[in-house]
Amino acid sequence: MSGPRTAVVTLAHGRHEHLGGQGWGLARQTVRADAWVVVAMGDPEVGAVAHEVDPAATVVPVPLAAGGELPLSAARNSGAAAALGLGAEVLVFLDVDCIPAAGTVARYAEVLGDGRPGPVVACGEVAYLPPVGHPTAYRVPSLATTARPHPARPAPAPGTTQVAEDVRLFWSLSFAVTAEGWNALGGFDEGYVGYGGEDTDFGQRIRESGGTMLWVGGAPAYHQHHGQESPPLRHRHSIVRNANVFHDRWGWFPMEGWLAELHGRGLARFDAHAGRWVATG
């Protein structure tokens, strides 16, 4: 008996070599996905890169949001819609920087087929790779030997799962959900535009729906190194705006560490009278 139809969905804006690395990993799956859906966010070159790696890739163009911000929530929803239109029964979302291990797609499909009631969101381990001279250096069979796990997230043993007690730890770097579960959750809230907050919101949707978030052993993804800033100052306006959107939805503020750092740098302040954060820089 064949397994469920699977689709891998990724978002890309730049990071072309990292996208190529993901395609390299998908071509080496023990059970290959039936579709690779690449959402090109305001980047017309993404399609050519994806098709060079996999001529059968489905490319979904999505324009940038106002002010040139990345429409992350809307892009994920567009990618999921395209995957469902292709008949996918399991959606696997991977960050463009992530290379899946050879058994990751099969493991996700296995876990989501165990009959657990309610929407189930399966989250595999994301391990971080060291810097290299060029991203093509990651495309080697020994990739796992140099990766290091994230210190703040569980990494169950292969073949095991662990129910997440804190859905605030959900992140979209690597997760999977059935088509039915995706529809029950309603996808990502497109009220979040730009960077920040949409992942935490999605975690709250899992909780509110009575669903389950699972940490999954045996479905790792390896995160290709790239430069980053903490806090992400160039996204400060969207972080502040999305924090307020989240507060309106759920009654508390996410991204507290980033907001505190922005406040310490004079780039954001809390307006106690209005009960909202305000970007000041």
152-172: per-residue pLDDT in tens? 889 999 999 999 999 999 999
Q: What is the pLDDT of residue 234?
A: 85
Residue written as token pair 């106002």: 66
- The tokens describing 4, both together, are 């469920």
Backbone angles phi, psi at 229, to 5 degrees: -115, 145
Lowest mean pLDDT among 14-23, 151-160, 200-209, 214-223: 151-160
Burial 48-57 (b: 16+ CB within 10 A, else e): ebbeebbeeb
Q: Is the pLDDT score of 3 beyond 90?
A: no
Q: Which of 160, 97, 172, 168 is nearest to 129 (CA)?
A: 97
Mean pLDDT along residues 268-280: 95
Q: What is the pLDDT of residue 261?
A: 94
Q: Rounded to an integer, what distance in angstroms lies between the CA atom of residue 31 and that of residue 121?
A: 20
Judged on CB neighbours under 10 Å (0-12, 13-18, 19+), 151 is exposed
Three-state DSSP class for 138?
A: helix
Q: Which of 173, 29, 49 is nearest to 110 (CA)?
A: 29
Peptide bond into 63 cis (omega under 30): no
In this prediction the pTM is 0.96
Three-state DSSP class for 35?
A: strand
Mean pLDDT along residues 50-69: 95
Judged on CB neighbours under 10 Å (0-12, 13-18, 19+), 153 is middle
Percent of the chain at pLDDT above 70? 99
Q: What is the pLDDT of residue 229?
A: 66
Peptide bond into 141 cis (omega under 30): no
231-273: per-residue pLDDT in tens? 788 889 999 999 999 999 999 999 999 999 999 999 999 999 9
Helix segments in the chain, DSSP class H: 16-26, 45-53, 72-85, 104-112, 179-185, 198-208, 236-250, 256-264
Helix (H) or strand (E) holding 149: strand 148-149
Greatest CA separation for the chain: 61
- The tokens describing 33, both together, are 């996905």
Structural domains of the chain in order of their starting residue, each with its CATH number:
6-223 (3.90.550.10), 233-279 (no CATH)
Q: Is the pLDDT score of 2 beyond 80?
A: no
Three-state DSSP class for 1?
A: coil
84-138: per-residue pLDDT in tens? 999 999 999 999 999 999 999 999 999 999 888 889 999 999 999 999 999 999 9
Judged on CB neighbours under 10 Å (0-12, 13-18, 19+), 61 is middle
